[in-house]
Amino acid sequence: MKERFLVQGGARLEGVVRVDGAKNSVLKLMAAALLVEGTTTLNNCPEILDVPLMQKVLEGLGCDVEIEGTVVRIHTPAYLSSRADFDAVRQFRASVAVLGPLTARCGEAVVALPGGDAIGSRPLDMHQSGLEKLGATTHIEHGAVVARAGRLHGARINLDFPSVGATENILTAAVLAEGQTVLDNAAREPEIVDLCDMLNSMGARITGAGTSTITIDGVESLHPTEHTVIGDRIVAGTWAYAAAMTRGDVTVVGIAPRHLHLALAKLKNAGADVETYDNGFRVRMDGRPQAVDYQTLPFPGFPTDLQPMAIGLSAVAEGTSVITENVFESRFRFVDEMMRLGADATVDGHHVVLRGVERLSSTEVWSSDIRAGAGLVLAGLVADGETVVHDVEHIDRGYPHFVEDLNNLGAEVRRI
């Protein structure tokens, strides 16, 4: 039976909330465990639906995966299957992260074209091109991407766009390649740095993580490791914008504030008081937020995953905001649901113009992806009456104990 959230409007969020490990990191770290025989241990893993989905993918390849709360142990055998389970892979996008490790370790990978959120097309062209430059052959066959290779070799690779997924698959293939690989225009996201840190602790030789040029000197083999996942900057950013939208006072712990530098700077521009600490930050908004313009870009730009929260804040801000989406072409589907709630919005291509209103009006809305779902819940907090948010399984894929955290901060949200 489908679940939904009932969100009572009028809440002011106040208190402390802890952020768990990053969804956009843990799934790729789990995939990287395929590179080495033995037991890889991951700490600070978020208790979200995508982790057991990746568990199913890895177990289909021959691994034994144990999940105990926030600890995941992956026992990788000497011999792996090279065919990722189609039913599991098609459920979420991050499953494509097994492509690079399988190609490097097994010499072959057959991975179903993945599914996931309805936020636009995300082709695998750069993944395939990168592997081909490392010496693999690739093609699409029967709904799957197929890669085959003997020992991979180093190469100079320049990405057309700093794709996070392509950067990850090239990294995890190149660590076992012969010779040196230089990856130009690489993604710079903190999750890329987290992956490189784990790979280096396994014996890889990677430099330049966090910059646009990453150098990988291939090694013969790797060894198992234990690694702690970085905090989830998107979940942390969601709480930051929730505090500003509800004119609240929320302290977020478990996150490096530098990973949200621009998002927090935008909140300051909107009138919030923002204090940062070594392991978190505090956002306090005493009055109505002021309108601010946003433009999504790869890190260190404003995260596309926080675009729904920027729209939610702009919907109730004083003045007019322009939000520009440069990463995913279908992400503005969220705006239609916000307009159901009374947002004064106009979409023009990859721009949306929002003229802020004092308060939204409650109704029924539907989640189309993880971040849109969370954004709709936040919008419900600043609407009159009770808002019903449907298709909340999307939210559960990215936000552990979301309802519990909201209620601990003073909201009134029920799961039905």
Side-chain half-sphere CA neighbours of 217 within 13 A: 5
Give SS3 for 118.
coil
Is 184 known as a binding-site position? no
Quickly tell me which residue has 């478990």 as its tokens: 254
Phi, psi dihedral angles at 293 (to 5 degrees): -90, 150
Is 24 known as a binding-site position? yes
Is 347 known as a binding-site position? no
Is 23 known as a binding-site position? yes
| Bridge pairing between strands 386-390 and 4-8 | antiparallel
Residue 294: beta bridge partners? Answer: 323
Q: Which residues contact 297 (CB under 8 A, 6 or more apart)?
A: 326, 327
Q: Which candidate, 21, 14, 34, places its Cα nearest to that of 231?
A: 21
User: What does DSSP assign to residue 180?
Assistant: E
Which of 20, 50, 85, 117 is catalytic? The answer is: 117
Q: What tokens were used for 264?
A: 């927090």
H-helix or E-strand spanning residue 94: none
Residue 364: beta bridge partners? Answer: 388
Is 266 known as a binding-site position? no
Cα–Cα dist 177/212, whole Å: 21
117 is a catalytic site residue: yes
Which residues are known catalytic residues? 117
Binding-site residue ranges: 23-24, 93, 305, 327
Binding-site residue ranges for UDP-N-acetyl-alpha-D-glucosamine: 93, 305, 327
Binding-site residue ranges for phosphoenolpyruvate: 23-24
